[in-house]
Amino acid sequence: MKRIYLDHSATTPVDSEVLAAMTPYFSDKFGNASSVHSFGQEARSAVDNARHQIAEFLNCKSIEVIFTSGGSESDNLAIKGVVEAVIPDLVGDQLIVDSRLRGNDKKNGNDKNTLPHVITSAFEHHAVLETVKELERDGKIEATFIKPNKEGLIEVRDIETAIKNHTILVSIMYVNNEIGTVQPIRAIGQAIEKLNKNREQKIYFHTDTVQAAEYFDMNVDTLHVDLLTMSAHKIYGPKGIGLLYIRSGVPIKHQIIGGGQEYKKRAGTENVASIVGFAKAVEMICHPELVSGSNKNEIPDQVRNDKTKVLRDKLISGLLQIPNSFLNGSRELRSPANANISFINAEGEAILLNLDMEGIAASTGSACTSGSLSPSHVLLSLGLKPEQCHGSIRFTLGRETIEEEIDKVLEVMPGIIEKLRKMSPFS
């Protein structure tokens, strides 16, 4: 049985070109990049070259690229790093707050020290959402969670309305990891920049681009962002390596303490092989003709994205032919690789098991919660009822996806749904 992989938002296979670039740094070029001898300097050169290459992709300075262990660590560093840099100290039980955050509006009860205010969305990845919630529970911040509209999109005006005098950070993901909707990051960034012109306390803007890097503009100046999270294993690179872009001048308190690596923002011996692989994966986004098995004469980038979108649209249209099914999120403003469909009166976990028996891999939502039977917080935030959430399936396409694989899904899905609905006590 041929296996079909349609779960690329969970992870992607390491491209053979990436693996080839990494391999020497596991054995022949094994030096510690902090060592002064030739072995170490060989490794240092590889890290520096990779950092420069990724900085060009993001249109930023090399010193603004901080390597981490992945997207979750980068999100934590961005949020906790900014919050703890802005809060000068905790002295006993007394919170000492920067004078710029002291409230002056007595009618709102803000005549005392005011907690820093953080804005995020209600359907962020858990690495952002749970970090903000923990800081809120610990009494370190005030938090606002913006709900998306029914199309799965954050409205810029909702961000603007939520901003307060003591707002210090806004964190909105570029592409939602479950439903694939594309958020107006550039417009949000522009709105924040405009507000900052008349504010004493600057608002910093962070975006998690883990699901966006393969398909969308990653120029940090175009996006008007101060912090940006990226992960290698979503773009055919290795697991265990990510980055946080930190615009020069943004205050960040390190979260891992030790040596002075990563410009003293993230201690620990550099993961040289994975950093090299990360840079190679980024290079292949910029130059798709380098991808293993690609047509060297093919027009790069947009052609590949358009092909993926055509297959995605065929999959969505075909699945929506199944009665009592609906698409989650905007039909147009979504990743070219994402199709998230709900099937009423069919259990998502059971659908996945039946697909797996057909050799097809998909998921019920984000990979981090795919083992959970709790309703998706993303779908709940759209206003869906729990029973509507339980029948959702996320198919995410990749570079190697072909039309015959989509045809196979459309061939087997009607029978799977019909069988499960007959077994359902609610049908």
Q: What angle do CA 332, 373, 321 make, to 5 degrees?
A: 40
Q: Using CA atoms, how far apart are residues 239 and 247, in angstroms rounded to an integer?
A: 25
- Determine the length of the chain: 427
In terms of Cβ atoms closer than 10 Å to its own Cβ (0-12, 13-18, 19+), residue 202 is buried
Q: Which amino acid would we find at residue 17?
A: E
Q: End-to-end CA distance of the chain: give it in Å, rounded.
A: 32
- Check if 368 is active-site: yes
Please state, in angstroms and as integers, the Cα–Cα distance from residue 59 to each residue in 63, 224, 402, following that order: 12, 12, 33
Contact at 8 Å (CB) between 213 and 235? yes
Contact at 8 Å (CB) between 153 and 176? no
Number of Cβ within a 10 Å radius of residue 287:
12
DSSP E strand boundaries for 37-159: 65-68, 89-91, 94-96, 117-121, 142-146
Calculate the dihedral angle through the C-alpha atoms of 69, 71, 76, 79, rounding to the nearest 10 degrees.
140
Contact at 8 Å (CB) between 317 and 367? no
Of 60, 286, 368, 389, the active-site residue reads 368
Contact at 8 Å (CB) between 208 and 71? yes
**Tokens 């393969």 map to which residue?**
214
Q: Using CA atoms, how far apart are residues 281 and 17, in angstroms rounded to an integer?
A: 8
Catalytic residues: 368
